[in-house]
Amino acid sequence: GNGVYGQTSQEFNFTIGRKVVSHINLKSHEMKVFINDKLAKTIPVTGGMPGYETRSGTKVIMEKYRTKDMDAATTGVSRNDPEYYNISNVPNALRVTWSGEFLHGAPWSEADQGFANVSHGCVGMSTENAAWLYGLTHVGDVVDVTGSSRPMESTNGYGDWNLSWSDYKAGSALD
């Protein structure tokens, strides 16, 4: 510790788990999931429709829910708005932004998955594919989204990945 708070030196051993990265292309409406850089599965998806575009950029799974109640009011949509929704027990929800973007099962949009973006910003897939992804992923796994003109904000989740190195360093106390 050499006088540092705690006054002890410690040594730890740990193992880094497998690498899981999901690449979502909103223009082709598909997600390619890679495990240790090998394609494991291609999943048809739907992203955010015009006015509710899913953000492009690098995101990280922040939270996992077997089921999640999703109320559009929490994202600023008025209960009087025709786009308002309140869906209970959305299956296999993986949060990727603080503002409410998730990857999740969306049985109501299966006809559009692989063909059109019809969501309010989340990435929807079949319940079966969402269950597979939920079982595979961990908090901290990377989700890379392309195909939208709406960029990911660096403060909307674990968004530091979206800063250039020079911008990241500029925010450092050491720079």
**Active site positions, annotated:** 104, 122
Q: Phi/psi of residue 111, each to 5°?
A: -65, -25
**How far is residue 105's CA from residue 25's CA, in Å, rounded to a whole number?**
17
30 neighbors 58 (Cβ within 8 angstroms): no
**How far is residue 146's CA from residue 133's CA, in Å, rounded to a whole number?**
19
94 neighbors 103 (Cβ within 8 angstroms): yes
95 neighbors 62 (Cβ within 8 angstroms): yes
For the chain, give percent helix, strand, coil, nearest 5.
Answer: 15, 35, 50
Q: What is the DSSP string of 27-88?
A: TTTEEEEEETTEEEEEEE-B-BPTTSPPPBEEEE--EEEEEEEEEGGGGT--TTSTT--EEE
